A and B are shown apart, each in its own frame.
Chain A
Amino acid sequence: MSDDPLLRCSDVVVTFQQKQTRTTLTAVKSASLEVGRGQIVGLVGESGSGKSTLARAVVGLQRIDSGSIVFDGKPFAARRRRADRRGVQMVFQDPYGSLDPRMTISGTLTEMIRRHTALRGSAVDKRCHELMDMVRLPSSLLTSRPAGMSGGQRQRVAIARALSISPKLLVADEPVAALDVSVQAGIVNLLADLREEVGLSILFISHDLSIVRTLCDRVNVIYRGEIVEEQPCAELFAAPRDEYTKTLLAAIPRIGGPRAGR
């Protein structure tokens, strides 16, 4: 089993019925990707490429039309059991929308811990403190609500919440896109550290190739619902094979790079 990847999506198809035009939109067509144990795998594409739809399918927020998603050696059924959901957790792009403004941070974490683990009483509190340490937040924030917190702090809370039930795979959908560069760097480093510290595997969805290069081991490029290229990070950037990947790489602005239009 150890040779098996942690996550293997094979020929996943997701379609949406357009009510008004009565047509079928294929958001993901026959996409296959793998995330190995302890790996950080990037999924890169532009808006409308299907990257978020595929991510939602992996987490179980999106029904798939055909294909299979095998996690930890077992295929996910159409309807996931609670134990299935424990293995995969997600962090969303917008840390302002993904946290309940009425709940304190400890409330947010406690809810998850009590629902999915056997911990009760003071063990829950202890776990909350551990989680805050893990995401480098002071425990004093446990009693505050998201309203007074910065975007970076909120995203750390969202990561702590995802980690609260020790998932094997974290699906991070553009987790730093809404953050400032200086804050973004902290979250990117945190994800890299978590892989080392708790052996977390991460599917990292992004449109920003610079961050993917900094963080990921392997990269999948998705274009119009299809994975057009998959390579180890270094190779993809050094020798892209697909035409679309080449276009994408050429379009990245670089500090000190050539001037636009000249």
Chain B
Amino acid sequence: MTDRAPLLDVADLSVKLQVGGTELHALEHVSFSLGYGEARGLVGESGSGKSLTLRALLGLLPPNATVTSGRMTFDGAEFDLAGTSRSKRRRLERLRGTGISMIFQEPSVALNPVIPVGEQIVDAVMRRDRMRRAEARDYAIHLMKLVGIHDAENKVDAYEFELSGGLKQRVMIAAAVASKPKLILCDEPTTALDVTVQQQILDVFTDLRDELDAGLLYVTHDLAVVSQLCDSVTVLYSGNVMESSADLRDMFDAPRHPYTEALLRSTPDVDRIGRRLYSIPGSAPSLDDRPRGCPFAPRCEYRHDDCEEARVPDKSTSSGREVHCLHQVQQGVSRVALTKEAR
């Protein structure tokens, strides 16, 4: 995976939001990359900019948002994400549904209620390949089986409202992979589902990744889900990358950014009873009132005076690990490690 050029490389992505006369910097210099067949988790709490990142890659930003900087290399081709010219936007649009697909959190909102779900998959199939509708329909049924819909022959004519949440999400995944995309963007696709269904969907993703050699960029707030699905992970906070690791296990075992550590400590653990959860004091800064330096500084336990002064450069210590913190959590004193030992 390492000697091949990455499937996706996003560099210096910044997005500005125009809200009632003020300009908010919703994303600041976000960079990450993703290999073929790799799954990267994009983790953050609400308002961290994780969904906005996905939308920026597809050119699907809301009208009040503008990309102020950002380059993307996708499958060998370069894209200027900040470009507003018609031709540049057209190039990005052409990727949608062919090279890159997206799966949303709420399948019932994303599916059209007046068209049978099978038709919607057929449309996605025909967007990429010229084939007869009957053929496309057979292929749609094949895809529905691939994502674990057992009686696909019947379900192909069903409407969205006739299906359960888990089935709807499977239909969305079938439609997303219909065009054999190289990259699948997932925006919290299992958050609205029950745990048993979530497990099945995560299995579907894992199979698809192996089958299609597609990259998966998986946005979620759920660290446990990321831990089960992804190889690598990027942690966002208030529109900035806090920590990033090519090896997810490395980061979750020994987080170096205090925010990553705090997140892990505040996540309830099924295997431990009666633990008092760590709760991060204060709340995330609003976008127009972000500290000049590290956005997490006001809530950080390891804060020093210099934290709030200037933007924190990448203090990478080893390859594949990126840590934006002046006073990283020292290995050996990590509180995550300590709570683990207490088990």
Genuine A/B complex: yes
Q: Which residues of B contact A19 (CB under 8 A)?
A: none
Q: Which residues of A contact B264 (CB under 8 A)?
A: 255
Q: B272: which of A47, A213, A253, A256 is its contact (CB, 8 Å)? A: A213
Chain A residues with Cβ below 8 Å from B34 are: none
Contact B277 A47 (CB under 8 A): no
Given A247-B196, A260-B206, are A186 and B279 also a contact pair (CB < 8 Å)? yes
* Contact A182 B224, CB 8 Å, known A213-B272, A237-B273, A253-B202: no
Q: Does B228 have its Cβ within 8 Å of any Cβ on chain A?
A: yes
- Tell me the nearest residue of chain B to A136, going by C-beta: B279
A13 to chain B, nearest CB (A): 24
Q: Mark A152-172, 1 if CB is under 8 A from B, else 0.
A: 100000000000000000000
Q: Which residues of A (90-136) have their CB < 8 Å from a CB of B? A: none
CB contact under 8 A between A262 and B277, given known A255-B223, A256-B249, A256-B253:
no
Q: Which of A247, A248, A252, A262 has the most chain B CB atoms inside 10 A of its CB?
A: A252
Q: Does A192 contact B (CB under 8 A)?
A: yes
CB <8 Å contact, B221 and A251: no
Given the complex of chains A and B, what is the CA–CA distance between A210 and B222 in angstroms? 12
Contacts of B269 in A (CB 8 A): 210, 213-214, 254-255
A189 part of interface (Cβ distance < 8 Å): yes
Contact of A46 among B196, B203, B253 (CB under 8 A): B196
Interchain CB contact under 8 A, B227 and A257: yes
**Which residues of the other chain, A, contact B227 by a CB distance below 8 angstroms?**
253-257
The reply on B112 being an interface residue by CB < 8 A is: no
Complex Cα–Cα for A251 and B197 (A): 8
Convert B237-280 into 0s and 1s, putting 1 for each residue whose CB lies closer than 8 angstroms to a CB of A: 00000000000010011000000001110111111111111111
Give the residue name and chain of the A residue nearest to B227 (CB): A255
Let me know if B198 and A259 touch, CB within 8 A: no
Chain B residues 169 to 225 lying within 8 A of chain A, measured CB to CB, are 194-199, 202-207, 221-225
Rounded to whole angstroms, the CA-CA distance of A186 and B274 in the bound complex is: 14
A198 at the interface (CB under 8 A from B): no
- By CB atoms of chain A within 10 A, which of B264, B271, B272, B278 has the most? B271
Residue A233 at the chain B interface, CB threshold 8 Å: yes
Q: Is A185 positioned at the interface, with any CB of B under 8 Å from its CB?
A: yes
B317 at the interface (CB under 8 A from A): no
Cβ distance B30 to chain A, nearest Cβ, rounded Å? 19
- Bound: A258/B268 CA distance, A: 17
Task: Determine the residue in chain A with the shortest Cβ distance to B204.
Answer: A261
Contact B272 A183 (CB under 8 A): no
Contact of A47 (CB < 8 Å), options: B165, B206, B229, B270: B165
By beta carbon, the residue of chain B nearest A184 is B266
Enumerate A208-247 residues with CB–CB distance to B below 8 Å.
208-211, 213-214, 233-234, 237, 247
Tell whether B45 is near chain A: CB-to-CB under 8 Å. yes
B331: interface (CB < 8 Å) = no
B328: interface (CB < 8 Å): no
Check: A143 CB closer than 8 A to any chain B CB: no
> In this assembly, does A181 line the interface, its C-beta being within 8 Å of a C-beta of chain B?
yes
Does B283 sit at the interface, judged by CB under 8 A? yes
Collect the chain A residues with CB atoms within 8 Å of residue B84's CB.
none
User: What count of chain B residues pass the 8 Å CB interface test?
Assistant: 45
B46 within 8 A of A: yes
Residues of chain A lying within 8 A (CB to CB) of residue B270? 209-210, 213, 237, 249, 252, 254
- B45 and A181 contacting across the interface, CB-CB below 8 Å: yes
Check B268–A46 contact: CB distance below 8 A. Answer: no
Asked if A214 contacts B205 (CB within 8 A), the reply is: no
In the bound complex, what is the Cα–Cα distance between A23 and B269 (angstroms)? Answer: 42
Name the distance in Å between B279's Cβ and chain A's nearest Cβ. 4
Which residues from B are CB-within-8-Å of A185? 266-268, 277-280
Task: Using A182-B266, A208-B268, A248-B195 as known contacts, say yes or no to A253 and B224 having CB atoms under 8 A apart.
Answer: yes
Within 8 A of B (CB), among A196-214: 207-211, 213-214
Residue pair B195, A182 in contact (C-beta under 8 Å):
no
Are A47 and B203 in contact, CB atoms less than 8 angstroms apart?
A: no
With A180-B221, A181-B45 in contact, is A252–B280 under 8 Å at CB? no
- Interface presence of A66 (CB below 8 A): no
CB pair B196–A182 under 8 Å, yes or no, is no
Known contacts: A189-B276, A254-B224. The answer to whether A213 contacts B194 by CB under 8 A is no
**B196 to A260, Cβ gap below 8 A?**
no
A241, B271: Cα distance in complex, Å: 17
Whether A259 lies near B228 (C-beta < 8 A) is yes
Query: Are A251 and B224 in contact (CB-based, < 8 A)?
Result: no
Residues of A within 8 Å of B196, CB to CB, are 46, 247-248, 251
| Residues in chain B near residue A247, CB distance under 8 A | 196
Contact (Cβ within 8 A) B267 A207: no
Give A8 Cβ to nearest chain B Cβ, in Å: 25
Task: Verify if A144 is at the interface (C-beta below 8 Å from B).
Answer: no
Please, which residue of chain B has its CB at the minimum distance from the CB of A208? B268
Complex: how many Å from CA A218 to CA B63?
50
- In the complex the two chains form, what is the Cα distance from A214 to B270 in whole Å? 7
Assess the B206–A259 pair: CB atoms within 8 A: yes
- Whether A46 touches B194, Cβ cut-off 8 Å, given contacts A213-B273, A253-B225, is yes
B109 to chain A, nearest CB (A): 17
Contact A234-B273, Cβ < 8 Å, known A254-B224, A259-B228, A259-B229: yes
A–B pairs, 5, beta carbons within 8 Å: A180-B221, A182-B266, A184-B268, A208-B268, A260-B229
